[in-house]
Structure 1
Amino acid sequence: MSVTTVPTKPFDGQKPGTSGLRKRTAVFEKSPHYTENFIQATLDSFPGGVQGAALVVGGDGRYFSVPAIQRIIRVCAGNGVARLIVGQHGILSTPAVSHLIRLHKTKGGILLTASHNPGGPDADFGIKANLSSGQPAGENVTNAIYEKTKTISEYRIVEGEDVDVSKIGETKFGAMEIAVVDSVADYLAYLGEIFSFPLIKEFLQQGDFTVRFDALHGVTGPYGRALFVDTFGLPESSIQNCVPSPTFNGGHPDPNLTYAKSVVDAVEKEGLSFGAASDGDGDRNMIIGKGAFVNPSDSVAIIADWAEKAIPYFQKGGVKGLARSMPTSGALDRVAKAHNLPFFEVPTGWKFFGNLMDAGKLSICGEESFGTGSDHIREKDGLWAVVAWLSIMAMANKEKPGTSVQDVLQAHYQKYGRNFFSRYDYEEVESAGAQALMDALAQKFADPSFAGTKLGSFEVAKGDEFSYTDPVDGSVSLHQGHMITFTDGSRIIFRLSGTGSAGATIRLYVEKYSQDPSEYAADAQVGLKPLIDEALKLSELEKYTGRSKPTVIT
């Protein structure tokens, strides 16, 4: 099995975003050399090279995953990779990949995922790289990958029969060793070190607190079954949609009130105490209770507030610092101040949190896009967040039996006030119109006379474009979103997202802070409507995009 050099030509647009390269599946599947080009460019861009190195490979199980893994195996063998650790059936959640990289001290990993995007032959596929710390490749690496894709003229492979990734065990492909591993075991064991499984199991076995976990036919199905049924001893009714599907059973594996309606309906119709969902690749989460939706901004704040009381990992090691992405509400800021903890506001993208974690500055962090995590790995972690909430509920009920998710929420608001928050997503908008909208906002915000003007009853304190200088490596990230801050602390933010595979996604974030207890139980959309109306009028969003309403509201 010798190395073959294959001549090729560059493809336009192989630029990785914050979560790798995402395109329609057919682009990867049916364009000769397309996938191999990108893998070769990725391997060439790993710091220090991959000759003699080990890598972790796996993904969310979406359509084309296993054929893509076979191509990765061939290109890795052609580039002298010594060992691949591959999830059985190609299945590994994004958090599990990060853990395996750190556990086995590999050079990094290659993930096959488009996260929360739909899957199938007519839907989306994606490839991203994680580094030796377990975190997603930073801009220095993704930029290097992109530059190589623009000049690539050949890639190196080893030809051979497909490797059977359905059977756990060791095999070889040419000179390269391949270990096909249980997708769940190592990650679940690690969660058992972080949390008190006996405390949670004892609480759930009492039977008064009923739960439902919905994997949305994504990668966390086997993990959810191992956790809720096998570990906590709950009945099959505690889980749903836990068989991974290459097409996510035709659904959209995004854990929000729109796309995870299956678990929202189950909680309300069956009167369940607790509901949770995760996304396609397992790094996002949604938490709900009967009559209660925990928005992600509040979720990370509440986890941080309870961390040293309810979670052994933080009881032992303490909390070093807290951080959130810029669009995420300021609820976490108030917890950091109350606990006298270092606090960071970073651009969207988990790599920014990873730098702070590696420097020992950060323990708990979150993004409003349903991503929550800690320094146990270097990715956001959907199941970690779910178990963190179960730990909080177990502890809260130990202190006061009968405590509900809504009770925990309201207690937090009474202590810290409430940051009303909502996000409007306009997906697959025509790119030129989206850019024109952002350019127009930049011009308005740059006008010195904009500060002091009023949008309805809200007075503008300033309008600016968010940028970030990393306190660890000094790197500067520009053009991270346009933001209006009002004199009362309310905010409006517009941002172009890089997570789609076609067109552009515009995200509008609206936030209002209240210390009025009479408002704490109000619906967020009602409280925020005046500010949302002003945002839509100011931006002229419908004029630029042709959209009269968002694709998703959270």
Structure 2
Amino acid sequence: MAFRTVPTTPIADQKTGTSGLRKKVTVFQQPHYLENWIQGLFNSLPQEQLHGCTLVIGGDGRFYNSVAIQKIICMAAANGVGKLLIGQNGLLSTPAVSAVIRETHSYGGIILTASHNPGGPNADFGIKFNVSNGGPAPESVTDRIYAATQALREYKIADLRPVELSAVGTTSPLPHFVVEVIDACEIYARLMERIFDFPAIRALFRRPSFRFLFDALSGVTGVYAKRIFVDILGAPAEALVNCTPLEDFGGHHPDPNLTYAKHLVDRMYAAQGHVPVLGAASDGDGDRNMILGDHFFVTPPDSVAVIAHYWRVIPYFAREGRIKGLARSMPTAGALDVVAQRMGVEFHETPTGWKFFGNLMDAGLLSICGEESFGTGSDHIREKDGIWAVLAWLSIIAHKSAALPLDKCATPADIMREHWTTYGRHIVMRHDYENVDSAAAAAMMQHLMTAAVGHSEADLKALAKDPTAQKCDSFTYTDPIDHSVSPNQGIRFYFSTGSRFVVRLSGTGSSGATIRLYFEAYDSSPAAPTADPKSSLAPIVAAALNATRIAHFTGRDGPTVVT
């Protein structure tokens, strides 16, 4: 079998971030576009390590997934890769890719996903590389990938017949090149069974008072939900909705928040009928999660704080007898900070991006972490993990319900109100302005850097039109492990009341820019559990709109999504 060398030229817009390369499907379908990035990846890796190595490949099943995988197979063969482990039907959740890399000691993995972004012929596609620890490639690696794409003059590809991915098994399209189709769930499900007390969760599902609803939003997590929740743990099949992966996610936005997970929210806030005790959702590639109770929303900062508080009910942590450390991303509210302080556990505040958590985990400094963008996880892998978070909540509810009569069950609302009584309540809200003109978003951020960062209280009070405005800075992070410096990770605006808002540009979109505004207030009063978030945060929201001049710069009357 002869390998072909195809002439090509660099494509300028292939800058790779921590979340990989995300563009519209139509961009990836352009001649040489995907091939250039893959060849850039292969060229950027040490050739002595690439040759004969094992790579994991899988995706969330969105449109173009199967086409991309076949191209990658052909290019991997031509570039000397020894073996590919590919999820059955081309499917692997992002957490599962991390788990498979770590379990099989693979060199790395290629994940085909645009995460929580829409799918379909006119929607989004993405690709990213995870390194040998199972986590996203660090900036040093993504910089090399981009540099390699900009130096391309050709790419190598083999003319192979399409590899059948529907059945588990091994084929060898070429001598010294093996493609193994693996069960998409097996390694991940075994890992979850080692982490959690599955008998206790099975007992919870047998309680007549417990009802569960999981919405995969037509993403890849549906495959894992059926295997773990139904086949292994005994949940009824009707507890799962939208659990068949679809190329276009059913025409919906596969993002587990109060706006896009409407089916789940409607069920959990129904005026009549039996509302489930626990409702949960995950996103397109399975790394995000949302937790709901009966007419009750558990915010992501509260969720990770509660999981940390109840670490002893999770055998993975209990066996070690301690928590190594806790961490959250900078925009995430400080609920976890208070838990860490009370527990006397080391705490870290990082920029957004799981790679920062991964460094701490690899150094043995971190056990549980979370981001306000519905990402929660631990050091069992090096990605955030939606199913893991749901299993953690099932474990907590099982633990809290064990002493109750069978006709009663602990609820997320019960658990959260008890938590707020102990630790106080961090009241939060997030406004997303999606697909904003990139130049306008950059101009708004520059306005804040010029008019707010480092300015006096008097200047900030005038800018925000708020007498409690106190301080504004731009968050810079120095990694305690590799000592790399990450500047300008978001602008933080503080008030003398203890409240704050944060502004940052998100890098997870495929076009335009997404501006995120994060609002936070802390209430330790006895009335905190009944406080209304919108009323409590209204003064901060008003100050943020004044200070950012977001309506002026974007031309928007309001956010696209409110969480």
- Tell me which interval the TM-score lies in, with the shorter structure as reference length: over 0.9
Q: Which moved more, 1:275-284 or 1:150-159?
A: 150-159
1:501-531 CA-to-partner distances (Å, cap 9, x unmatched) read 0000000011011112213223322211111
Correspondence 1:363 to 2:367: yes
Provide the residue aligned with 1:541 in structure 2. 550
Letter of the 1:202 partner, please give it. A
Letter in 1 for 2:43: D
| Separation in 2, partners of 1:128, 1:481 | 23
- More off after superposition, 164-173 vs 60-69: 164-173
Q: Using the TM superposition, give the Cα deviation of residue 490 of structure 1 relative to its aligned residue in structure 2, in angstroms.
A: 1.2
Q: Which residue of 2 aligns with 1:39?
A: 38
What pairs with 1:431-470 in structure 2 (closer than 5 Å)? 431-450=438-457, 453-454=460-461, 455=464, 459-470=468-479
Paired residue type of 2:179: I
* Counterpart-to-counterpart distance in 2, 1:483 and 1:340: 26
Q: 3-state SS of the aligned residue for 1:446?
A: coil
Aligned partners of 2:237, 2:160: CA distance in 1, in Å? 42
DSSP 3-state at the match of 1:151: coil
Tell me, yes or no, if the aligned pair for 1:77 and 1:158 is still in contact at 8 Å: yes
SS in 2 for 1:332: helix
CA-to-partner distance for each residue in 1:432-477, whole Å, 9 max, x for gaps? 1000000000011235324684345552332111010000001111
Corresponding residue of 1:277: 281
Provide the TM-score with structure 1 as the length reference.
0.98
Cα deviations by residue, 1:250-307 (Å, 9 ceiling, x for unpaired): 0100000100011111223231111000000000000000021000011001000101
- For residues 259-408 of structure 1, the aligned pairs below 5 Å read 259-269=260-270, 270-308=274-312, 310-317=313-320, 318-400=322-404, 402-408=409-415
Q: How far apart, in 2, do the equivalents of 1:370 and 1:446 lie?
A: 28
- Give the Cα separation in 2 of the matches to 1:241 and 1:148: 40
Count matched residues: 552
In terms of mean alpha carbon deviation, does 153-162 or 246-255 score higher? 153-162
Q: Counterpart of 1:527?
A: 536
Residue aligning to 2:171: 171
> In the alignment, does 2:157 pair up with 1:150?
no
Q: Does 1:410 align with 2:417?
A: yes
Counterpart CA distance in 1 for 2:280 and 2:11 is 40
Are 1:209 and 2:218 an aligned pair? Answer: no
Secondary structure (helix, strand or coil) at the match of 1:180 reads strand
Please say if 1:424 is aligned against 2:425.
no
Give secondary structure in 2 for the equivalent of 1:43: helix
Stretches of structure 1 lacking an aligned partner (at least 5 in a row):
none
Task: State the SS of the aligned residue for 1:520.
Answer: helix
Question: 2:97 — aligned with what?
Answer: 97
Matched to 2:217, the amino acid is: L
Instruction: Look up the match of 1:250.
Output: 251
What TM-score do you get using the length of structure 2 for normalisation? 0.96
- Name the SS for the 1:384 alignment partner: helix
The more displaced of 490-499 and 231-240 is 231-240
C-alpha distance in structure 1 between counterparts of 2:172 and 2:551, whole Å: 56
Give the corresponding residue for 1:192.
Answer: 193
Provide the C-alpha distance between the structure 1 equivalents of 2:454 and 2:329, rounded to a whole number of angstroms: 26
Shift of the alpha carbon at 1:402? 3.0
CA distance in 2 between partners of 1:291 and 1:457 (Å): 33
Q: CA shift at 1:187, angstroms?
A: 0.5
Partner letter of residue 532 of structure 1? Answer: V
Deviations 1:331-353 (A, max 9, x none): 00000001100000000000000
State the superposition RMSD in angstroms: 1.3
2-side partners of 1:261 and 1:446: how far apart?
38
Residue pair 2:288, 2:385 contacting (<8 A) in 1 also: yes
The answer to which of 41-50 and 433-442 deviates more is 41-50
2:455–2:472 contact (8 Å) kept in structure 1 = no
Q: Which amino acid aligns with 1:328?
A: T
| Kept in 2: contact 1:43–1:49 (CA 8 A) | no
Tell me the distance in 2 between the aligned counterparts of 1:98 and 1:117. 20
Instruction: For 1:233 and 1:394, locate their aligned partners in 2 and report how far apart those are by CA, in whole Å.
Output: 14
For residues 332 and 505 of structure 1, the distance between their equivalents in structure 2, rounded to whole angstroms, comes to 26
User: Contact 2:501/2:517 (CA < 8 Å) preserved in 1?
Assistant: yes
- Contact preservation (8 Å) 1:444, 1:450: no
Q: CA deviation at 1:45?
A: 2.4
1:14-93 aligned within 5 A = 14-29=14-29, 31-46=30-45, 49-93=49-93
Q: 1: CA distance between counterparts of 2:453 and 2:510?
A: 31
- Distance in structure 2 (CA, Å) of the matches to 1:402 and 1:81: 52
The aligned counterpart of 1:504 is 513
What letter matches 1:111 in structure 2?
A: I
Q: Does the 8 Å contact 1:36/1:71 carry over to 2?
A: yes
Q: Deviations over 1:99-129 (max 9, x none)?
A: 0000000110000000000000000000000
Task: Determine whether 1:490 maps to 2:494.
Answer: no
Q: CA deviation at 1:50?
A: 1.1
8 Å contact kept, 1:54–1:106: yes
- Checking the alignment, whether the CA contact within 8 Å between 2:424 and 2:528 is kept in structure 1 is no
1:136 match: secondary structure: coil
1:216-274 Cα deviation digits (max 9, x unpaired): 00001111111221112122211100000000010100000100011111223231111
Rounded Cα–Cα distance in structure 2 between residues aligned with 1:456 and 1:301: 33
Could you say which residue in structure 2 is the equivalent of 1:11? 11
Q: Distance in 1 between matches of 2:457 and 2:451?
A: 7
Residues in 1 aligned to 2:125 and 2:96: alpha-carbon distance in whole angstroms: 19
Cα distance in structure 2, aligned partners of 1:220 and 1:36: 28
